Amino acid sequence: MTTTESDAPTAAGSGSSASQAFRTAAREATAVPPERVDEVARAVLAGVHQAIREHDVTYPEFQAAKQWLMDVGEGGEWPLFLDVFVEHVVEEVAARTQDGTKGSIQGPYYLPGQAKLPWQAALPMRPGEKGTPLVFTGQVRDVAGDPVAAAELDVWHADDDGYYSGFAPGIPDGNLRGVVVSNGHGWFEITSVRPAPYQIPTDGPTGKLIAAAGWHAWRPAHLHLIVRAPGYRTITTQLYFPGGEWLDSDVAEATKPELVLDLRPQEDGPLRAEYDFVLERA
């Protein structure tokens, strides 16, 4: 499928922009000892060998797979592909030792260094930003139930068309991104717009695999957060809307029942959503 043939919105170039963001992210160099490389690389290869034997994979299929792997690299979609199809298991392993609020995958669209905002703030948005106005409130506490003041809530989310600033073209830098700092009671109140569900770009190799396999390309609407405070273990997570489409079939398998927002019943005004975060000591 090409962009012009598709009637669904596509985030042209979002997948490859994610490669650029990954390369420029400050990351600690990890020296992996040879025994560990041996053990894990061997297991990965054994899994591939097993799939080939079990499914009688042919030479033409092997060559098609090789071509596709080259396309993913050349299209810059490895961060997109790996975060959609693999990261959830890495998070599952990390979660084995984690207390407090559940984590979820970071995904490919985080950008550090966003504007610091007071506890009660609107995320940067375009004049007349399209979508349902959203007010997201809550409290940051520690596992003992005491408020955590000056916690940073590093928030980012898609717009009403499902696009992320910094990745899809034509959106101002920093749109719907910000670092909100909790007050003395641990409270925060973030004004934004409700994000739309996210569709994996259909015009790249990741989208082509999804179409070729007959899968769907959707993630439920979500807010991304990194919550951090000095002395506490940082939580990277996502929050979802109750009853949201794709909540039970997220292509990235990154939903958890504990990560659904509480929507406050209301007659009019903005959509009001609540969530409290619990941090454990680092």
Q: Based on CB atoms, which residue is closest to Fe ion, 87 or 142?
A: 87
Contacts made by residues 68-73, CB under 8 angstroms, sequence distance 24+: 68/205, 68/208, 68/209, 71/205, 71/208, 72/205, 72/206
User: Which has the closest alpha carbon to 176: 131, 140, 138?
Assistant: 131
Residue 252 interacts with ligand MBD (CB under 6 A)? yes
Contact flags string 105-124 toward ligand MBD, x per CB under 6 A: x-xxx---------------
Question: Is the backbone of residue 116 left (phi > 0), alpha (psi -120 to 50) or beta?
Answer: beta
Interface positions, 131-190, toward ligand MBD (CB under 6 A) = none
Contacts made by residues 42-49, CB under 8 angstroms, sequence distance 24+: none
CB of 278 to Fe ion, least distance (A): 22
SS3 readout for 263-279: ECCCCCCCEEEECCEEE
Q: Based on CB atoms, which residue is closest to ligand MBD, 142 or 253?
A: 253
Q: Based on CB atoms, which residue is closest to Fe ion, 117 or 200?
A: 200
Residue 219 interacts with ligand MBD (CB under 6 A)? yes
Residue 107 interacts with Fe ion (CB under 5 A)? yes
CB of 199 to ligand MBD, least distance (A): 9
Which helix (H) or strand (E) segment holds residue 83: the answer is helix 78-85
Q: Based on CB atoms, which residue is closest to ligand MBD, 70 or 90?
A: 90
Pairing of strands 133-142, 277-279: parallel
CB of 192 to ligand MBD, least distance (A): 15
> Which of 125, 254, 259, 278 forms a contact with ligand MBD (CB under 6 A)?
254
- Give CA 237 to chain center in angstroms: 8
Which parts of this chain interact with Fe ion (CB under 5 A)?
A: 107
Which parts of this chain interact with ligand MBD (CB under 6 A)?
A: 83-84, 105, 107-109, 198, 219, 252, 254
